[in-house]
Amino acid sequence: MVGSSEENNPNGNPDPNPPSEAAAEAEAEAPPESSIEALARKVQETLSLGGKRHRFWETQPVGQFKDLGDSSLPEGPIEPPTPISEVKPEPYNLPAPYEWTTCDMEDERTCDEVYALLTNNYVEDDENMFRFNYSKDFLQWALRPPGYYRAWHIGVRVKATKKLVAFITGVPARIRVRSDVVRMAEINFLCVHKKLRSKRLAPVMIKEVTRRVHLENVWQAAYTAGVVLPTPITTCRYWHRSLNPKKLIDVGFSRLGARMTMSRTIRLYKLPDSPATPGFRRMELRDVAAVTRLLRDYLAQFAVAPDLDEADVEHWLLPRDDVVDSYLVESPETHEITDFCSFYTLPSSILNNQNYTVLKAAYSYYNVATKTPLLQLTNDALIVAKRKDYDVFNALDVMHNESFLKDLKFGPGDGQLHYYLYNYRLRNPLRPAELGLVLL
């Protein structure tokens, strides 16, 4: 249930590809083309060339390329649930040297092992300059939401040494698709040790997490990938806003623009010292109910979005140092909570650089603007991120984010992020602006 393969960087989520001048120029010159049109064109080219077959995914209950745009197919579950008694009771077979393990993320030693595996083997950019470096605090936050199942945190060990060499996870979620709220698993962190990428462990790991999810009577899932598989429900792009342009240029994340000096670039990205919005402050526990109401009202407009209650909001959005930050606007007159913004922290290791080892990145999460313009609210978020020494602020072009990206000096990244649903068909792909879901 996760979009990845061992031939590509196992990618549970955001592509750390930096922006390029070529991407920016292409963005400026290309005629507007929706991601749906682009995907359809790409699929047609692939099919006409007798292109790459997805041996595993063509056997799974996912939207298939050949069905794109077929209006006779119903939306909703592709296969009905089967009785739990018919779900395979024992784990799938691994190659002889390996064994399954359930990873207890509350156990410090296990958490250390997972952290080490991901830090050394997870998503890298195409030039092998940056690799995601999820902190242990982040992993414990991401993998232990309300009602989580420890059995869905799955590892593979070498029998002889007990070394952890592969990992995949699921967490429970309620996701609304159009008018239906569906119990799903969000699948993430598919990672196989670099030396084992030829062993084709990924398909058996995906089948095993699917089996364990089915044992809890959950039959649908959501996941993302940086590669095209059958078949994205939408395709998004990451945009990057420089906060520390000198460092970003020094490490090769971005380049000095044509006819630009370093001092002009630093001036271009300079931000005010403090937020502009009266009543802008950090979220506190007492705000959970108000933020939940704001978010539920806001997310109702999108075709696919999480169905959040107060327990979810407390877990996912209450600030945790160096994990997730949330800010809101409290009216100085009425004390009503009118606006909300949030971002999570996902650093990358900087590979092969003598001066720097870590790139500190903020990722836009959920934002709701009712009284404050979204552009102003996001600018305030940029200001607090800069004050907290983030180097770059990243945002997907989902929800209403496109409305502020260019005005706030975000540049388009090279990579795309494809969203998928398992065992749930949408007849037509969505535009990024119709998606109200951010997966970590």
Specify the 3-state DSSP secondary structure of 75. Answer: coil
Torsion sign over Cα 205, 211, 212, 217: positive
At residue 32, what is the residue type? Answer: P
| 390-396-401 Cα angle (round to 5) | 100
The three state secondary structure string of 217-272 is CCCEEEEEECCCCCCCCEEEEEEEEECCHHHHHHCCCCCCCCCCCHHHHHHHCCCC
Length of the chain: 440
346 and 138 in contact (C-beta within 8 Å)? yes
**Locus of tokens 């020094």:** 250
- The question of whether 440 is a catalytic residue gets the answer yes
Q: Are strands 358-359 and 337-345 parallel, antiparallel or unpaired?
A: unpaired
CA-angle at 23, arms to 20 and 29, nearest 5°: 145
Strand order in the sheet with 130-132: 130-132, 348-350, 358-359
Q: Which of 196, 295, 346, 440 is catalytic?
A: 440
SS3 of 397, please? coil
Q: Are strands 234-242 and 392-396 parallel, antiparallel or unpaired?
A: antiparallel
The answer to whether 367 and 338 have CB atoms below 8 angstroms apart is no
Could you give the CA distance from residue 149 to residue 318 in angstroms, rounded to a whole number?
22
Q: Which residues of 336-358 are buried (b: 16+ CB within 10 A; e: fewer)?
A: ebbbbbbbbbbbbbbeeeeeeee
Apex CA 210: angle with CA 52 and CA 439, to 5°?
A: 75
CB 155 within 8 A of CB 103: yes
* Residues facing residue 330 across a β-bridge: 337
Q: At what angle do helices 108-121 and 136-143 cross, to 10 degrees?
A: 110
Pairing relationship of beta strands 348-350 and 361-364 according to DSSP bridges: unpaired
Cα of 33 vs its chain's centroid, Å:
23
The residues assigned a catalytic role are 440
